[in-house]
Amino acid sequence: MGNIFNWFSGKAKQSRIGRIDAWDKESVRGTILAPVDPEKPGTATLFINDMPVVERPISIPGDGPLGFSIGMYDVWRFASKADKISVRYGDEILPLPDGSLFFHPRSNGKEDLEQLRQRFASGQHFDKRGRIIAGKMTKDQDRAWQDGVMTLYAEVAKVIREVTGSSSFVFSGTLLGYVRDNGFIPHDKDMDCAYLSTKDTAADVAAEFAALGEALIAAGYSVTPKASCISVRRLTGSKVMVDIAHLFIKSDGNVGFPFGRVGTEDVPVSEFLPVGAGQLSGYPVGVPARPELVVEHIYGQDWRIPDPGFKWSERRRSRDPQPLLNYSQRTRIAMDDLYSRPETTEPSSFVSWLASSAMLPQLAVAYDLGCGNGRDLDTLSTLANRVTGIERSTYAVTAARELASGNPAITVWHDDLLDDGLLARLAAEGAAGAPRLFYARFLLNGLTQSEQETLLTSLRAVLRPGDLLAFEHRTTEDEQLKKARFRSFRRFINTQDFIERLNDLGLEMSHREEDTGLAPFEREDPHVVRIVAYVPEEAPSSVTGLVGGVAVG
């Protein structure tokens, strides 16, 4: 570690009370051999000179010595090369492995101890990773947050039971706090729970998990779907959140962890079932049958020692991904969640631009593919004699029909665009020879690549010379830009690849532009592409390209 610190040359006798075992830029970790009180071992405190800077609790393991970990992420910025850094337990300074009592940082920080005192006076403090943050109550102290999240958990647990027939239990970080800290982890962000599915196949486990997400939306909650968990909030804007994970029984009879874990040994069902009753900071919770063993499977053998730098991407060693929610399941849940509550009914900037561009002829029919809540239908009716919206979300269809109820030119179909033959039946209504518009705003971002190909194939089969297509969607340039909402259910599309595919299908471009500034949304300004394409009057007799093994043309 000589490239990081210059160690003080003073030595100390071997401490009988404890020691520092390891250190790096991110943390200092140690062992307490003789705690003042084994039941309440207290805290270890990091000092810069004689100023206490960070205090962290001593963990209580099931057996073996007690441990501690102090995050150092931002601590270095307040220390200079002349400052002495030490860790104390009670009145005793804990020695480093070489016997030194303290060390000097190798370089000067950007701020000093006086500035740190001012930050402390304003309510700022170091979090568990050692990052300096604005003052706020930690979750183990914030009774208002605990009341809110545990009330929400009690409600969510009922829905889990109704949908799956299984009892829920505390899981992940909340289970770790229950076992190790006898309460909530101070700087946790949410409450974690899980259930063990009794379905026989991975596909059925995933379908049940998706059905749980839909049931929570129907019960009036806001739901964010991720592949391995469902995040649940109230619609009132409350920040309390419950994360639900799903586990399952594998073909070998052991428990599978879709999210993954640090442990790699087999986990028998008996470690989870029967689910017991416990208390978390005074609130009733479900608890796995053998909670300490479950925590060890999740976090590994060192779970008793707090690890401020823990990252799943680095520590995960095993995973059973078969029942993860797939892309289509996440998209459906996300869209139902979006349209289950009021959304803007103002026409989009895309349809407004189309209507004012004068690039479209008078249309016989405009088809809004994935029309959502119908916000663009009325504007499309100024371009076409008839407008048909197609939408698979029940919530969106209800909203769209209500919004379009005063316009007799508009019809809203409750159907899935990917259903075999749907577009053929729909497009057969249009009079031959009259141009038609197929309009798709942000539809493709919600489809997989395979589903996109299915849709394009179906569209090409019904297109006639003179028909037009209008697309707007997020591009691959948008993937790293700031997002207003969590988007694990959004695919980003390479514009050049997409245009080449349209060309393969015999379509020609009449307009293409892509940039930010075209479709601002809440706090984000996505990078999108707008494409208007058409079927030429002299359409080729055959079209190059195979989709799913079927020639198009």
Q: What confidence tens digit (pLDDT) does each residue in 17-48 have? A: 899 998 888 899 999 988 877 767 888 999 99
The CA–CA distances, whole Å, from 398 to 212, 329, 366, 412 equal 21, 21, 20, 9
Q: What is the largest CA-CA distance in the chain?
A: 96
Hey, CA dihedral for 129, 135, 138, 144, is it positive or negative?
negative
- What is the pLDDT, as a whole number, of residue 3? 37
Q: Could you report the per-residue pLDDT of 301-349, keeping only the tens digit for each? A: 989 887 777 888 889 999 999 999 999 999 999 999 999 988 889 999 9
Q: What average pLDDT score do residues 129-146 get?
A: 77
pTM of the entire predicted model: 0.70
User: Residue 9: how many CB atoms within 10 A of its CB?
Assistant: 7
- As a CATH number, domain 339-551 is 3.40.50.150
Domain ranges of the chain: 5-133, 143-325, 339-551
- DSSP for 350-379 reads HHHHHHHH--SPPEEEEEEET-TTSTTHHH
167 or 483, which is more confident: 167
Helix (H, G, I), strand (E, B) or coil at 381: coil
| Element at 412 (helix H, strand E) | strand 410-414
> pLDDT grade, residue 481 (50/70/90)?
confident
Q: What average pLDDT score do residues 217-227 get?
A: 95
CATH 2.60.40 corresponds to the domain 5-133: yes
Q: What average pLDDT score do residues 371-394 get?
A: 96
> pLDDT grade, residue 490 (50/70/90)?
confident
Q: What average pLDDT score do residues 145-151 get?
A: 91
Evaluate if residue 528 carries a pLDDT over 90.
Answer: yes
Fold held by 143-325: Beta Polymerase; domain 2 (3.30.460)
Least confident of 27-31, 98-102, 164-168, 441-445: 98-102
CA 422 to chain centre: 33
> pLDDT grade, residue 553 (50/70/90)?
very low
Mean pLDDT, the chain, rounded, equals 88
Q: Could you report the per-residue pLDDT of 244-297, keeping only the tens digit for each? A: 999 999 999 999 999 999 999 999 999 999 999 998 888 899 999 999 999 999
Exposed (0-12), middle (13-18) or buried (19+): which is 549, by Cβ within 10 Å?
Answer: exposed
Q: What average pLDDT score do residues 478-500 get?
A: 84
- CB-CB contact of 192 with 232 (8 Å): no
> pLDDT grade, residue 484 (50/70/90)?
confident
Q: What average pLDDT score do residues 438-450 get?
A: 94
- What is the pLDDT, as a whole number, of residue 540? 47
Evaluate if residue 74 carries a pLDDT over 50.
Answer: yes
Calculate what percentage of the chain has a pLDDT beyond 90: 66
Least confident of 11-20, 38-47, 350-359, 372-381: 11-20
- CB-CB contact of 437 with 360 (8 Å): yes
Report the distance separating Cα 542 and Cα 35, nearest Å: 82
Joined together, the tokens standing for residue 327 give: 């892309």
> pLDDT grade, residue 547 (50/70/90)?
very low
Report the distance separating Cα 151 and Cα 391, nearest Å: 35
- What is the pLDDT, as a whole number, of residue 268? 97
- Name all contacts of 280-283 with Cβ < 8 Å and 24+ positions apart: 280/150, 280/170, 280/174, 280/177, 280/178, 280/183, 280/184, 281/140, 281/146, 281/150, 281/183, 281/184, 283/146, 283/150, 283/153
Q: What average pLDDT score do residues 154-175 get?
A: 97
Radius of gyration of the chain (CA): 30
> pLDDT grade, residue 211 (50/70/90)?
very high
User: Residue 522: how many CB atoms within 10 A of its CB?
Assistant: 8
Joined together, the tokens standing for residue 162 give: 């109704």
- What is the pLDDT, as a whole number, of residue 549? 28
> pLDDT grade, residue 144 (50/70/90)?
confident
Report the distance separating Cα 200 and Cα 486, nearest Å: 31
Calculate what percentage of the chain has a pLDDT beyond 70: 90
Q: In this structure, which amino acid lies at residue 76?
A: W
